[in-house]
Amino acid sequence: QVQLVESGGGLVQAGGSLRLSCAASGSIFSINTMGWFRQIAGKQRELVAVIPRSGSPNYRDSVKGRFTISRDNALNKVYLQMNSLKPEDTAVYYCYLNSQGLVYWGKGTLVTVSS
């Protein structure tokens, strides 16, 4: 069993910043990719940013230049620094982990950006 626990969501004004954290625990053998997805009300879950164990991260176009993903392989943690937040970034953000082809999700943390 693998557990992902997110933290750092909340309410922020447009233009503000938030930092999301996700800690992975449990029977983790080899983590390939970690990252963040989000789900806006009434829409499908979408990729925000993912980062491989080694290599360059990948971002959705709308967050490039504003969001930065990073990870700590020793601690099995992934972070998402979100700057210049916009109301359209309002969503539930889910932590994602891929370990040897198995995908795990956190329960999500709500980010609300007010205009």
Task: State the pLDDT at residue 27.
Answer: 80
What does the pLDDT average to over 24-46? 91
Using pLDDT thresholds of 50, 70 and 90, give the confidence band for residue 76. Answer: very high
Task: State the pLDDT at residue 30.
Answer: 81
Q: Any residues with CB less than 8 A from the CB of 95 and at least 6 apart, and which?
A: 4, 5, 6, 20, 22, 24, 34, 35, 36, 78, 105, 106
Distance in angstroms (rounded) separating the CA atoms of residues 68 and 24: 19
Q: Any residues with CB less than 8 A from the CB of 7 and at least 6 apart, and which?
A: 20, 21, 22, 109
- 12 pLDDT more than 80: yes
- 77 pLDDT more than 90: yes
Using pLDDT thresholds of 50, 70 and 90, give the confidence band for residue 93. Answer: very high
